[in-house]
Amino acid sequence: MKYKDIRENKEVKAFLKKGNENLGVLGYTDHSEKHCAIVAEHAALILEKFKFSNHDIELVKIASFMHDIGNAVNRNAHGEYGAMLANDILRRTDMPLEDRVTVVSAIGNHDEATGGAIDTISAALIIADKTDVRRNRVRNKEMASFDKHDRVNYAVTEAKLKISPEKATIALNLQVDENICTMFEYFEIFLGRMMMCRRAAEVLGAKFKLTANGSKIL
């Protein structure tokens, strides 16, 4: 079982499509295949930079692409639902049991409400997921009707994830348009996620840093 196989898996694609549609109705930002592919790319880069094995990199890409399939069931506990769905899909492939358990565990622990980093794979997935802050994730294009989540995401004009193995740091550098969203609003929503990233970075033997508009926050 390879990442390319998961990218083309009809069940995975169907669950992601339905989950993203459901969240659209509920007013959430984009959680489509595009988001999951970006998370997979960034999670793989994190492990690659820190010299983890190709095997771990392959597993984190698979877990990352599948991490939001549980939204097709319900947004609440979507990590746990996603883990169960992923287990059902992956047990019908040639993926070894130990690898399947690792992927399922990472998916089940990626949400800040109930999860946290418990190994290399989950740590890289969490950081890649929580740092995917982009203006084009906002579906609602009418600024007058933006809710707080829309404003926060739309206000981020630039987000760069900098991985430095030499300094043992993973840094998210943001540019935020404070005419759209105050820094207070940003951290009201994202502080919990950033703290989750800090713990995840520690699992990887690194420190997580956050800067916004040139000022160090974490």
pLDDT score recorded for residue 218: 80
d(CA 18, CA 191): 28
Start-to-end C-alpha separation, the chain: 38
- Give the global pTM: 0.95
Instruction: Report the domain count for the chain.
Output: 1
pLDDT score recorded for residue 1: 87
Residue 121: Cβ-neighbour burial (10 angstroms; 0-12, 13-18, 19+): buried
The per-residue pLDDT for range 18-77, each reduced to its tens digit, is 999 999 999 899 999 999 999 999 999 999 999 999 999 999 999 999 999 999 999 999
Within 13 Å, how many C-alpha atoms sit on residue 202's CB side? 9
Here the CATH number for the domain that contains residue 199 is: 1.10.3210.10
Quote the domain boundaries for residue 173. 3-216
